[in-house]
């Protein structure tokens, strides 16, 4: 399975820009390409959003309270969950999204925050781009050195938030149940996602 290496490409572009710039005020950041998408929905109404996730087949699925959430191997390694949202009454350009997983017992969290945009779906709503992991929060789960429980099969708190360029915000918190989402990596996932996993500890090989 091949996923878009958008994050990797952006990082390379950032490095090249920084290396070639002679402007001492240049931060080396690569600006998001000019976004001319129209406002989605009604600017006088609060953001409405519906949580979604990306599965192991790169298909976007709705995410409801108590749902199972697949942990998937991303290009950078380890395991993550890909979480996003469909939304309306929002500026789709320059959108800041933030995904947070919290273990209620240990109070430890794992966070991914990034800037992206919503792809209009023609009905006044917009959402992440199916199969493009850079448009989802990539929240790391394993190796598990933070949660007090074996992550596969255990309820964990997920909070997802978005803020658009105009300062409009929306946030939702649900309980989800992570699972090892790829059969090819099930053994190593079960091992590295268990409670009290020690980094570098040998696991079963697939």
The per-residue pLDDT for 196 is: 85
Higher pLDDT, 26 or 82: 82
Q: Which is higher by pLDDT, 4 or 160?
A: 160
In a domain, 33, yes or no: no
Tell me whether residue 179 is in a domain. yes
Taking the C-alpha atoms of residue 137 and residue 133, their distance in angstroms, rounded to an integer, is 8
Domain annotation covers residue 93: yes
Cα 25 to its chain centre, rounded Å, is 31
Average pLDDT, the chain: 85
Question: Mean pLDDT lowest for which of 9-13, 153-157, 175-179?
Answer: 9-13
Q: What is d(CA 175, CA 64) in angstroms, rounded to the nearest whole number? A: 9
CATH at residue 125: 2.60.40.10
Would you say 90 and 47 are in contact if contact means Cβ atoms under 8 Å apart?
yes
Residue 13 inside a domain? The answer is: no
Q: How far apart are CA 104 and CA 109, in angstroms?
A: 9
Q: Are 132 and 4 in contact (CB under 8 A)?
A: yes
Residue-level pLDDT at 52: 98
Number of domains in the chain: 1
Measured between alpha carbons, how far is 123 from 175 in angstroms, rounded to an integer? 28
Render pLDDT for 29-84 as a digit per residue (tens, 0 to 9). 334 557 899 999 999 999 999 999 999 999 999 999 999 999 999 998 999 999 99
Closest-CA residue to 47 (of 179, 189, 169, 177): 169
> Percentage of residues in the chain with pLDDT exceeding 90?
75
What pLDDT score does 169 carry? 98
Could you tell me the pLDDT band of residue 24, with boundaries at 50, 70 and 90?
very low
Q: Which run of H or E residues covers position 57?
A: none
Q: What's the mean pLDDT in 74-98?
A: 97
The answer to whether residue 64 sits within a structural domain is: yes
- Location of structure tokens 């958008």: 6
Residue 122 sits in which domain range? 43-192
pLDDT at 131: 87
Confidence class of residue 204 from pLDDT cuts 50, 70 and 90? low
- Residue 7's pLDDT band, with cuts at 50, 70 and 90, is very low
Q: Say how far apart CA 172 and CA 167 lie, in whole Å.
A: 17
Q: Measure the CA–CA gap between 180 and 70, rounded to whole angstroms.
A: 6
Confidence of residue 9 (pLDDT cuts 50, 70, 90): very low
Structural domain contains residue 25: no
152 close to 193: Cβ distance less than 8 angstroms: yes
Count CA within 13 A, CB hemisphere, residue 120. 15
Look at residue 31 in the predicted model and tell me its pLDDT.
41
Q: Is residue 159 part of a domain?
A: yes
pTM score? 0.82
What pLDDT sits at residue 150?
A: 96
Residue 203 has pLDDT above 90, yes or no: no
Residue 97 lies in a domain: yes
């Amino acid at each position: 399975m091949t996923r878009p290496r958008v994050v990797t490409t952006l990082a390379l572009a950032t490095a090249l820009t920084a290396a070639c710039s002679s402007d001492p005020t240049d931060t080396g950041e690569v600006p998001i390409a000019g976004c001319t998408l129209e406002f989605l929905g009604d600017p006088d109404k609060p953001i409405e959003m519906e949580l979604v996730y990306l599965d192991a087949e790169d298909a976007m699925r709705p995410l409801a309270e108590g749902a199972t959430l697949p942990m998937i191997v991303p290009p950078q390694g380890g395991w993550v969950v890909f979480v996003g949202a469909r939304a309306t009454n929002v500026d789709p350009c320059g959108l800041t999204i933030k995904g947070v997983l919290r273990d209620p017992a240990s109070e430890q969290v794992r966070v991914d925050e990034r800037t992206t945009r919503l792809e209009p779906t023609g009905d006044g709503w917009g959402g992440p781009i199916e199969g493009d992991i850079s448009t989802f929060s990539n929240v790391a789960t394993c190796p598990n050195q933070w949660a007090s429980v074996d992550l596969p099969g255990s309820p964990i708190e997920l909070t997802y938030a978005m803020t658009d360029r105009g300062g409009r915000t929306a946030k939702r918190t649900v309980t989800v149940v992570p699972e090892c989402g790829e059969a090819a990596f099930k053994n190593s996932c079960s091992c590295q996602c268990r409670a009290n996993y020690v980094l570098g500890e040998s696991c079963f090989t697939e």
